[in-house]
Amino acid sequence: MYDMTGYHEAHSLTDVFKLMQADPTARLVAGGTDVLVKIRAAAPHYADTTLIGISRITALKGCTLEADGTFNIGALMTFDQIEHDSLIQTHLGLLSQAVSLVGGPQTRRMGTVGGNICNAGPAADSAPSLFTYNAQIEIQSESNVRQVPIAQFYVGPGRTILKPGEIVTKIKIAPEDYRGFVGHYTKFARRKALDIANLSCAALIKVSAEQRIEALRICFGAAGPVPLRMPQAEAYARHQPLNRAVLNTIGEYCLKDTQTISDWRNSKVFRDHLVTILPGRDISMALRGDEDEAIG
Amino acid sequence: MKQLVNFTLNGETVSCEVDVRKSLLEMLREDFGMTGVKEGCGVGECGACSVIIDGQTVDSCIYLAVWIDGKQATTIEGVTHEDGTLDPIQASFIDAGAVQCGFCIPGMILSSKQLLAHNPSPTRGEIRRELSGNMCRCTGYQKIVDAVQLAAKRLDVEPHARAAIPFTIEK
């Protein structure tokens, strides 16, 4: 049995706010693929608490496209739903591809994108692509709704800016942040399924008619305490032609903004090598569909 | 703290006053005697506890028992026919030599059943991806993939086939 003190099912956001107010130490659980595992491991602040289940709240499910092209991705969308949603496949191909690499099929059917963000793991597979799309996180409390850029949402490993009484309801992506872009995500892990990334990298690129880089956005997972965008590499890349030398230089620039460490999964030296390699591979994959096909 | 759950288990409407701290795995084994649902890792990494819920395979060890309320669950006990004859997928696992210690096999068969329900003639790559949430530490997976391909062929020829029990267990 799980080491928990109680369980309440919320059927609406009103229920959630009421239940959170009644028990401020209670923890929200969506698909349970992180929360239940942490309770099992008796992680601090997880075991011996009451859970509020939110997985039956219809308002947090599904995905809509507003008339102006803004995407609203419900916090309860599972990885499996995001992977197979035709609107997301068409317009946010990078996100669809990235979440197809989460854990295994069983995990992807239960795990949600909102939960993935709120768990704030540095290696979360949905995060790097959401960072490159400049996603806005919509946070609701009983009396307030606010939107925060995803880059400001993370505070540290496992920590976000969420305050007691708040819940993430949706993820918004503006049309200017996906139109004209193509992208690719690499999850560098020891096996293809049921593993956590040693290092991960999402690249989102827009190429001009003159075959130069009009805009490039790169974000690494597991290269620091939180997912990290690469401002210096992105600034360098602007207006550069697409060739192998430029891709290599982009990789070198990324070392200026990553904060890799050695841990039991990998050494810093190996991670830094990957930092220089993965952005170029992602760009080649995004544009040519083949990482070995050198560009230029 | 207990809660009443009503759900469909292997085609039968059932209900249970369940401790809210229980996982679905624990409820199925302890309260319903469905011991074909195996606990491997207990943290959603091995797939031994796989159960089909509303047409989707999930890990029942990290699924709260109360979440099953109002849903349909299928365990390996529900794959075998009532008269004891095997489903063609089960028979194919035996015929292809895909079973060694057998601990992962209920989960493997449920994942295969779900795959074949959505994709009747999967490629080996598709089989590997759909079964990638089920770990086997004996076989090396080749014969498991063979078994799913064999089952796909048999189901294509005879969609409602039932296989005879290939051996009897002495009691």
A193 with A239, same domain? Answer: yes
Nearest to B133 among A9, A55, A107 (CB): A107
B169–A contact, CB cutoff 8 A: no
Q: Which pLDDT score is estimated for B164?
A: 58
Average pLDDT over residues B53-72: 98
Q: Which pLDDT score is estimated for B74?
A: 98
State which residues form the domain around A205.
180-288
Q: Is residue A294 part of a domain?
A: no
Question: Which residues from A are below 8 Å from B18, CB to CB?
Answer: none
Nearest residue to A177 via CA among A126, A129, A240: A129
What string of pLDDT tens digits covers the 296 residues of chain A? 999 999 999 999 999 999 999 999 999 999 999 999 999 998 888 988 999 999 999 999 999 999 999 999 999 999 999 999 999 999 999 999 999 999 999 999 999 999 999 999 999 999 999 999 999 999 999 999 999 999 999 999 999 999 999 999 999 999 999 999 999 999 999 888 988 999 999 999 999 999 999 999 999 999 999 999 999 999 999 999 999 999 999 999 999 999 999 988 889 999 999 999 999 999 999 998 766 555 54
Instruction: Give the pLDDT band of residue B162 (cuts 50, 70, 90).
Output: low
Nearest to B132 among A32, A55, A105 (CB): A105
Q: Which pLDDT score is estimated for A106?
A: 98
Q: Is residue A249 part of a domain?
A: yes
Average pLDDT over residues B103-112: 98
Interface ipTM above 0.90? yes
Nearest chain A residue to B135, by CA: A194
Is pLDDT at B71 greater than 90 in this prediction? yes
- Beta-carbon separation of B20 and A6 below 8 A: yes
A212 with A258, same domain? Answer: yes
Q: Is residue A39 part of a domain?
A: yes
Question: Which residues from A are below 8 Å from B58, CB to CB?
Answer: 106, 109-110
Nearest to A32 among B22, B26, B62 (CB): B62
Q: Are A27 and A2 in contact (CB under 8 A)?
A: no
Question: Which residues from A are below 8 Å from B28, CB to CB?
Answer: none
A260 DSSP 8-state letter: -
Question: Which residues from B are below 8 Å from A84, CB to CB?
Answer: none
User: Rounded to a whole number, what is the distance in Å from the CA of A41 to chain B's nearest CA?
Assistant: 9
Q: What is the DSSP string of A181-250?
A: -EEEEEEE-SSSSS---SEEEEEEEEE-TTSBEEEEEEEEESSSSS-EE-HHHHHHHTT-B-SHHHHHHH
B26–A contact, CB cutoff 8 A: yes
Q: Which pLDDT score is estimated for A108?
A: 98
Domain count, chain A: 3
Q: What percent of chain B has pLDDT over 90?
A: 85
- Beta-carbon separation of A32 and B63 below 8 A: yes
CATH number of the domain within which A78 lies: 3.30.465.10
- Beta-carbon separation of A105 and B66 below 8 A: no
- Beta-carbon separation of A106 and B129 below 8 A: no
Q: Which pLDDT score is estimated for B167?
A: 52
Q: What is the CA radius of gyration of chain B?
A: 16
A-interface mutation test, from B17, B28, B62, most A Cβ less than 10 A away: B62
A70 with A169, same domain? Answer: yes
Alpha-carbon torsion angle A159, A163, A165, A169, nearest 10: -70
Q: Is residue A201 part of a domain?
A: yes
Domains B2-78 and B88-157 alike in fold: no
3-state secondary structure chain B: CEEEEEEEECCEEEEEEEECCCEHHHHHHHHCCCCCCCCCCCCCCCCCCEEEECCEEEEHHHCEHHHHCCCEEECHHHCCCCCCCECHHHHHHHHCCCCCCCCCHHHHHHHHHHHHHHCCCCCHHHHHHHCCCCCCCCCCCHHHHHHHHHHHHHHHHCCCCCECCCCCCCC
A165 with A184, same domain? Answer: no
All structural domains of chain B with their residue ranges: 2-78, 88-157
Is pLDDT at B52 greater than 90 in this prediction? yes
Average pLDDT over residues B129-149: 96
Nearest to A110 among B1, B58, B129 (CB): B58
Give the CA angle between residues A178, A179, A180 to the nearest 5°: 110
Q: Which pLDDT score is estimated for A265?
A: 84
What is the rounded CA–CA span in Å between residue A193 and residue B45?
10
User: Rounded to a whole number, what is the distance in Å from the CA of B47 to chain A's nearest CA?
Assistant: 8
Nearest to B56 among A9, A51, A109 (CB): A109
B79–A contact, CB cutoff 8 A: no
Q: Which pLDDT score is estimated for B12?
A: 97
Pick the CATH number of B2-78 from 3.40.50.720, 3.30.70.20, 3.10.20.30, 3.40.190.10: 3.10.20.30
User: Rounded to a whole number, what is the distance in Å from the CA of B72 to chain A's nearest CA?
Assistant: 15
Nearest to A106 among B19, B57, B67 (CB): B57
Pick the CATH number of B88-157 from 1.10.3720.10, 3.80.30.20, 1.10.150.120, 2.20.25.650: 1.10.150.120
Nearest chain A residue to B60, by CA: A106
Instruction: Give the pLDDT band of residue B119 (cuts 50, 70, 90).
Output: very high
Average pLDDT over residues B105-130: 97
User: Rounded to a whole number, what is the distance in Å from the CA of A64 to chain B's nearest CA?
Assistant: 24
